[in-house]
Amino acid sequence: MRLSVTGNHQPNFSVFNNTKQNVNLISMKGLNIIVLAKQVPDTRNVGKDAMKADGTVNRAALAAIFNPEDLNALEQALRLKDQFPGTTVTLLTMGPGRAAEIIREGLYRGADQGYLLTDRAFAGADTLATSYALACAIRKIKNFDLIISGRQAIDGDTAQVGPQVAEKLGIPQVTYAEEIISVTGKKIKIKRRLERGVEVVEGALPLVATINNSAPECRPRNAKLVMKYKHATTITERQDSSEDYINIFNDRPYLNIEEWSVNDIDTDVEALGLKGSPTKVKKIENIVFQAKEAKVLSDADNDIDELMKELINNHTLG
Amino acid sequence: MNNIFVYCETDNGTIADVSLELLTKGRKLANQLNCKLEALVIGHKLKGIESQLFPFGADVVHVADDPRLDPYTTLPHTSITVKLFQEEKPQIALMGASVIGRDLGPRVSSALQSGLTADCTSLEIGGHEDKRAGKVYENLLYQIRPAFGGNIVATIINPDNKPQMATVREGVMKKEIYSPTHKGELKQIDVKKYVDDADFIVKIIERHIEESKVNIKNSSIIVSGGYGVGSKDNFDLLFQLADVLGAEVGASRAAVDAGFASHDRQVGQTGVTVRPKLYIACGISGQIQHTAGMEESAMIISINNDPNAPINKIADFIITGDLNTVIPKMIKYYKQNTK
């Protein structure tokens, strides 16, 4: 990015007070932002219909959604796009073919393009092998000033992929970010939400920022963008779709969601998927609670009074 | 060589509780593995810090002391940790699952190509047989954690890569002095050899740290609400009961995600682990994500519309009913029958 422009938080700044910056405004190119996103099972809403008779979870019954904090991340990217015309927001996701759904979801909200990394060779990857594959894809995308992702995905809750991508690319990271305050030339100011407070850090582009759920929610779908991108598909999806739409892809290249297999990116296959994962799952146990002896009460006055009396008498209360 | 390392966080010259908890656990693992326990402290004004660490069983304390190392920033702490681990080749490295540990851990694990498991709720030593590769491993670190939103519990191992890394949240492990007279060795790290200027590219320009107003960890009674409470307004009722009982208000992750309660009230694997004498769970279904953080409560009361809510299985008292009916009755009785 060549332009020097400041964010909302420095309202006194004017691009007209300095000839050099004025010139830069004309040659402005905006930012190249990559948003890392993941399609996840909606583990937050494990309703009764998702529970099997034996008390375990029926994963197939869970909806696949855009990982919530990745939506917070997308919003931060879109705000920079609002601020710096010419900015390109690129979504990158790794997953099965149906993960193209979240790229479309991102396009509907204002992203410009998307890449789906999909291959059996990536399957079974832990965070390290995942971050390696993503870093290789990012190197192929090549032009980026900023990489933004959610802090963590709700299926694993590890918060590891963002920092590991940063390390693999050899660039700094700012985790637990709540707001990208400003971008001025190569400088970026970011507010972080810590356990007991906030911190503002200043770094240099390029870097990786991971966004907390305390950041603003993502804007909703835009009706015009839904119309524009509703036929956006990967090549695999098009092969499965009806003939009717095939021609529009020749006229409208923006409807192509780029799909990359392991052969499309430069990788060491040994470092991918299950093979490239230092962590192995030794054992998985479904949670089935062992009932203990409990007193079962109703909400009638008598029952509540008896309980409270007991708790007061045995000094649990008071 | 091949010892257990604990990365220790400091706060104004005091070692963080989570680090002391990890040293307590690390000491037990070290005794089991017959190796040493080593602590790594990176920061500034750390003179004498080892005296806080030796009683918790540290045999060696590595100290990197430099004004640029406090407060924590990612790159210099990573450089020191990575280089030290490359020299010392620990078999196990533990960090707090705190904002710092969850920033540093993945960066270090990526640089070392080692496996890392986040937010473990239990750490054990055990063997493993890889039948396909025909390999047998002894004395691996079992990194046990809920996964998949807390609906399953996974045991993770890193058979071939060292160090085996894990993060653990504050309050999950118990903090116990190993021996008040235990003494170890102090090793100063020559910071200049471990970091370079490029590591300081991200600078902290503003910092506001508040004393936490919410203290659910040390509260002896917790009134906790789940998604079933229904709304932020309904949570007021929980606050009223807590007020009357001298309790704190906790919340499940679902309630926090829904915006019913603030993040610092979250109980569970990704929140705080609590062991109060009384835990009143209101409208909480009881996913393992939540119960992992409260099942050691001395007494559990579950108030739930659903008589089959999973949490009822660990409850001592189950009140089947609407919390909007039950809680006012509890408040009324308590007010009338205590001074």
Please report, for the domain that includes residue A92, its CATH number: 3.40.50.620
Of A78 and A3, the one with more pLDDT: A78
Inter-residue contact A43 to A155 (CB < 8 Å): yes
- CA dist list (Å): B247 to B216, B222, B319: 9, 5, 19
User: Is B75 near chain A, with CB under 8 Å?
Assistant: yes
A92 inside domain: yes
Inter-residue contact A158 to A130 (CB < 8 Å): no
Q: Do residue B161 and residue A289 have CB atoms under 8 angstroms apart?
A: no
Mutation for A interface: B102, B138, B339, most A CBs within 10 A? B102
Chain B contacts of A295, Cβ < 8 Å?
Answer: 316-318
Per-residue confidence (pLDDT) for residue B168, from 0 to 100: 96
Q: Which of residues 217-256 of B touch A (CB under 8 A)?
A: 221, 245, 253-254
Binning pLDDT at 50, 70 and 90, where does residue B146 land? confident
Q: Give the separation between CA A238 and CA A51, rounded to whole angstroms.
A: 35
Closest Cα of chain A to B189: distance in Å?
A: 23
Whose CA is closest to A176, among B109, B110, B263, B103? B103
pLDDT at position B150 over 90: no
Q: How far apart are the first and last CA of chain B?
A: 62
- The per-residue pLDDT for range B61-81, each reduced to its tens digit, is 999 999 999 999 999 999 999
pLDDT at position A23 over 50: no
Q: Which of the residue ranges A6-10, A86-90, A293-297, B116-120 would you say has the lowest mean pLDDT?
A: A6-10
Q: Residue A191: closest CA among chain B residues belongs to which residue? A: B206
Backbone angles phi, psi at A6, to 5 degrees: -105, 165
- The per-residue pLDDT for range A255-287, each reduced to its tens digit, is 999 999 999 999 999 999 999 999 999 988 876
Per-residue confidence (pLDDT) for residue A156, from 0 to 100: 85
pLDDT at position B177 over 80: yes
Query: Is it true that B4-200 and B221-337 share their CATH fold?
Result: yes
Closest Cα of chain A to B172: distance in Å?
A: 17
Share of chain B above pLDDT 90, in %: 83
Q: Give the separation between CA A107 and CA A86, rounded to whole angstroms.
A: 16
Tell me what the mean pLDDT of segment A118-122 comes to.
95
Q: Do residue B158 and residue A279 have CB atoms under 8 angstroms apart?
A: yes
Residue B201 has its nearest CB partner, among A158, A189, A204, at A204
Closest Cα of chain B to A103: distance in Å?
A: 23
Q: Give the separation between CA B185 and CA B245, rounded to whole angstroms.
A: 48
Q: Residue B206: closest CA among chain A residues belongs to which residue? A: A200
Closest Cα of chain A to B183: distance in Å?
A: 32
Query: For residue B174, what is the DSSP state?
Result: P
Per-residue confidence (pLDDT) for residue A49, from 0 to 100: 64
Of B158 and A247, the one with more pLDDT: B158
Mutation for B interface: A191, A199, A305, most B CBs within 10 A? A199
Q: Identify the bridge partners of residue B146 per DSSP, sorted by sequence position.
A: B153
Of A207 and B146, the one with more pLDDT: A207
Per-residue confidence (pLDDT) for residue A15, from 0 to 100: 37
Tell me what the mean pLDDT of segment A68-77 comes to.
98
Question: Alpha helix locations (H) across A260-316?
Answer: 301-313
pLDDT at position A235 over 80: yes
Domain segments of chain B as ranges? 4-200, 221-337
pLDDT at position A17 over 60: no
Q: Residue A160: closest CA among chain B residues belongs to which residue? A: B106
Mutation for B interface: A181, A196, A208, most B CBs within 10 A? A196
Per-residue confidence (pLDDT) for residue A51, from 0 to 100: 59
Instruction: Could you list the beta-strand ranges (E) of chain B.
Output: 4-8, 10-11, 14-15, 37-43, 60-65, 92-96, 116-120, 122-130, 135-147, 152-157, 164-168, 185-188, 203-209, 221-225, 248-251, 278-282, 300-304, 317-320
Q: Give the separation between CA B293 and CA B284, rounded to whole angstroms.
A: 13
Q: Which of residues 5-64 of B touch A (CB under 8 A)?
A: none
Per-residue confidence (pLDDT) for residue B269, from 0 to 100: 83
Q: Which of residues 279-338 of B touch A (CB under 8 A)?
A: 286-288, 291, 299, 301, 307, 310, 312-322, 325-326, 329-330, 333-334, 337-338
pLDDT, chain A, mean: 86
DSSP annotation string for B246-315: T-EEEE-HHHHHTTSS-GGGBBSTTSB----SEEEEES----HHHHTTTTT-S-EEEEES-TT-GGGGG-
CB contact burial A105-141 (16+ within 10 A = b; e otherwise)? bbbbbbbbbbbbbbbebbeebbbbbbbbbbbbbbeeb
Q: Which of residues 80-99 of B touch A (CB under 8 A)?
A: 98-99
A317 inside domain: no
Mutation for A interface: B129, B148, B210, B241, most A CBs within 10 A? B148
Q: Give the separation between CA B312 and CA B219, rounded to whole angstroms.
A: 22
Residue A155 has its nearest CB partner, among B113, B149, B270, at B149
Calculate the CA B222 to chain-centre distance. Answer: 19
Q: How many CB pairs under 8 A join A and B?
A: 253
Per-residue confidence (pLDDT) for residue A315, from 0 to 100: 81
Q: What is the token pair recorded at B228? A: 């079933």
Tell me what the mean pLDDT of segment A180-202 comes to.
94
Binning pLDDT at 50, 70 and 90, where does residue A151 land? very high
Q: How far apart are the first and last CA of chain A?
A: 64
pLDDT at position A99 over 50: yes
Chain A contacts of B277, Cβ < 8 Å?
Answer: 316
Calculate the CA B41 to chain-centre distance. Answer: 18
Per-residue confidence (pLDDT) for residue A13, from 0 to 100: 36
Closest Cα of chain A to B285: distance in Å?
A: 10
Per-residue confidence (pLDDT) for residue A56, from 0 to 100: 58
Inter-residue contact A90 to A33 (CB < 8 Å): yes
Q: Identify the bridge partners of residue B96 per DSSP, sorted by sequence position.
A: B168
Share of chain A above pLDDT 90, in %: 68
pLDDT, chain B, mean: 94
Binning pLDDT at 50, 70 and 90, where does residue A46 land? low
Per-residue confidence (pLDDT) for residue A250, from 0 to 100: 79
Q: Give the separation between CA A41 and CA A62, rounded to whole angstroms.
A: 6
Q: Which of the residue ranges A36-45, A244-253, A296-305, B240-249 would you say has the lowest mean pLDDT?
A: A244-253
Whose CA is closest to B154, among B130, B118, B108? B118
Report the side by side order of strands in the sheet with B185-188: B116-120, B164-168, B92-96, B4-8, B37-43, B60-65, B185-188
Residue B115 has its nearest CB partner, among A200, A279, A307, at A279
Per-residue confidence (pLDDT) for residue A313, from 0 to 100: 85
Chain A contacts of B205, Cβ < 8 Å?
Answer: 189, 200-202
Please, which residues have CB within 8 angstroms of residue B51's CB and are 6 or more apart in sequence?
none
pLDDT at position B162 over 60: yes
Tell me what the mean pLDDT of segment A6-11 comes to.
36
Tell me what the mean pLDDT of segment A238-250 comes to.
74
Which range in A170-184, A287-301, B264-278 is most confidently predicted, on average pLDDT?
A170-184
Q: What is the token pair recorded at B196? A: 């370079």
Please, which residues have CB within 8 angstroms of residue A52's CB and are 6 or more apart in sequence?
A58
A156 inside domain: yes
CATH of B221-337 among 3.65.10.10, 3.40.50.1220, 1.10.10.10, 3.40.50.300? 3.40.50.1220
Q: Give the separation between CA A242 and CA A185, rounded to whole angstroms.
A: 47
- CA dist list (Å): A239 to A121, A159, A236: 21, 35, 5
Per-residue confidence (pLDDT) for residue A289, from 0 to 100: 55
Q: Identify the bridge partners of residue B266 per DSSP, sorted by sequence position.
A: B251
Per-residue confidence (pLDDT) for residue B122, from 0 to 100: 94
Number of domains composing chain A: 1
Binning pLDDT at 50, 70 and 90, where does residue A42 land? confident
A279 inside domain: no
Tell me what the mean pLDDT of segment B82-101 comes to.
97
Tell me what the mean pLDDT of segment B124-150 comes to.
91
Q: Give the separation between CA A5 and CA A21, rounded to whole angstroms.
A: 8
Query: What length does chain A have?
Result: 318
Binning pLDDT at 50, 70 and 90, where does residue A96 land? very high
Inter-residue contact A217 to A73 (CB < 8 Å): no
Q: Residue B198: closest CA among chain A residues belongs to which residue? A: A172
pLDDT at position A1 over 80: no
Tell me what the mean pLDDT of segment A288-296 comes to.
70
Per-residue confidence (pLDDT) for residue B270, from 0 to 100: 80
Question: Alpha helix locations (H) across A188-234?
Answer: 223-229
Of A16 and A170, the one with more pLDDT: A170
Q: Residue B100: closest CA among chain A residues belongs to which residue? A: A194
Per-residue confidence (pLDDT) for residue A314, from 0 to 100: 82
Q: Do residue B152 and residue A284 have CB atoms under 8 angstroms apart?
A: yes
A300 inside domain: no
Residue range(s) defining the domain that contains residue A143: 15-271
Binning pLDDT at 50, 70 and 90, where does residue B99 land? very high
Binning pLDDT at 50, 70 and 90, where does residue A155 land? confident
Q: The tokens 């830069």 sit on which residue?
A: A24
Q: What is the token pair recorded at B327? A: 């809680």
Q: Residue A214: closest CA among chain B residues belongs to which residue? A: B263
Residues B4-200: name the CATH superfamily: HUPs (3.40.50.620)
Q: Do residue B269 and residue A318 have CB atoms under 8 angstroms apart?
A: no
Per-residue confidence (pLDDT) for residue B142, from 0 to 100: 98
Please, which residues have CB within 8 angstroms of residue A94's CB and are 6 or more apart in sequence?
A38, A116, A117, A118, A122, A125, A130, A133, A134, A137
Q: Residue B151: closest CA among chain A residues belongs to which residue? A: A287
Beta strands A187-194 and A197-204, pairing class: antiparallel
pLDDT at position B25 over 90: yes
Tell me what the mean pLDDT of segment A186-209 comes to.
94
Chain B contacts of A298, Cβ < 8 Å?
Answer: 319-321
Binning pLDDT at 50, 70 and 90, where does residue A20 land? very low
Residue A291 has its nearest CB partner, among B157, B313, B325, at B313
